[in-house]
Structure 1
Amino acid sequence: MSIVARSRRIFSIVQRSNKNPRLYSSVSANGPSEPIMSSSILSNQPTSSTSPPPPPPPPPESAAADRAGGQPWSFFKYTLIAALTGGVATAGYATYAYTLEEVDEKTKALRASAKVSVDDDMPSFDLIVLIMFLVSLPGVSVPAKLVELYMDLRAATEEHVRGFTEPSSDLLLPDLHPQEQHVFTLVLDLNETLLYSDWKRDRGWRTFKRPGVDDFLERLAQFYEIIVYSDQQAMYVDPIVDRLDGNHCIRYRLSRAATRYQDGKHYRDLSKLNRDPSRILYVSGNALESCLQPENCVPIKPWKCEADDTALLDLIPFLDYVARHRPADIRPVLASYQGCDIAKEFAERTKEHQRKMQEQKQQGRLWRR
Structure 2
Amino acid sequence: MSIVTRSRRIFSIVLKSNKNPRLYSSVTANPPKEPIISSSILGDQSASSPPPPPPPETAAATKGGGPLSSFLKYSLAAAVTGGLATAGYATYAYSLEEIDEKTRGLRASANVSVGDDLSSFEKFQAMLKSTAMTVPAKLVELYLDLRASTEEHVRGFTEPLSEKLLPDLHPQEQHVFTLVLDLNETLLYSDWKRDRGWRTFKRPGVDDFLEHLAQFYEIIVYSDQQPMYVDPIVDRLDGKHCIRYRLSRAATRYQDGKHYRDLSKLNRDPSRILYVSGNALESCLQPENCVPLKPWKCEADDTALVDLIPFLEYVARNRPADIRPVLASYHGHDIAKEFIERSKEHQRRMQEQKRPGGLWRR
TM-score (norm 1): 0.76
Match of 1:195 in 2: 188
Deviation at 1:331, TM superposition (A): 0.8
1:104 aligns with 2:97: no
1:57 aligns with 2:51: yes
Match of 1:87 in 2: 83
Match of 1:165 in 2: 158
Please tell me the residue identity of whatever aligns with 1:84: V
Match of 2:10 in 1: none
Q: Call closer, same or farther: CA 1:67–1:301 in 2, change over 3 Å.
A: closer
Q: Call closer, same or farther: CA 1:57–1:223 in 2, change over 3 Å.
A: same
Match of 1:275 in 2: 268
Equivalent of residue 350 in structure 1, options 335, 343, 352: 343
Deviation at 1:275, TM superposition (A): 0.4
Deviation at 1:57, TM superposition (A): 2.5
Q: Call closer, same or farther: CA 1:112–1:216 in 2, change over 3 Å.
A: same
Aligned 8 A contact 2:110 2:131 in 1: no
Mapped partners of 1:82, 1:43: distance in 2: 57
1:146 aligns with 2:139: yes
Mapped partners of 1:174, 1:352: distance in 2: 41
Aligned 8 A contact 2:219 2:245 in 1: yes
Number of residue pairs aligned between Structure 1 and Structure 2: 310
Gaps of 5+ in 2: 1-27, 113-129
Match of 2:246 in 1: 253
Mapped partners of 2:136, 2:230: distance in 1: 51
How do 1:321-340 and structure 2 match up within 5 A? 321-340=314-333
Deviation at 1:115, TM superposition (A): 3.8
Deviation at 1:361, TM superposition (A): 2.5
1:292 aligns with 2:285: yes
TM-score (norm 2): 0.77
Please tell me the residue identity of whatever aligns with 1:182: H
> What SS does the aligned partner of 2:189 have?
strand
Encode CA deviations 1:70-114: one digit per residue, 9 max, x unaligned.
544433222111111111111111112211222112111111222
Deviation at 1:228, TM superposition (A): 0.6
Mapped partners of 1:249, 1:173: distance in 2: 16
> What SS does the aligned partner of 1:363 have?
coil
Mapped partners of 2:60, 2:353: distance in 1: 113
1:360 aligns with 2:358: no
Mapped partners of 2:266, 2:70: distance in 1: 60
Aligned 8 A contact 2:109 2:133 in 1: no
Q: State the superposition RMSD in angstroms.
A: 3.1
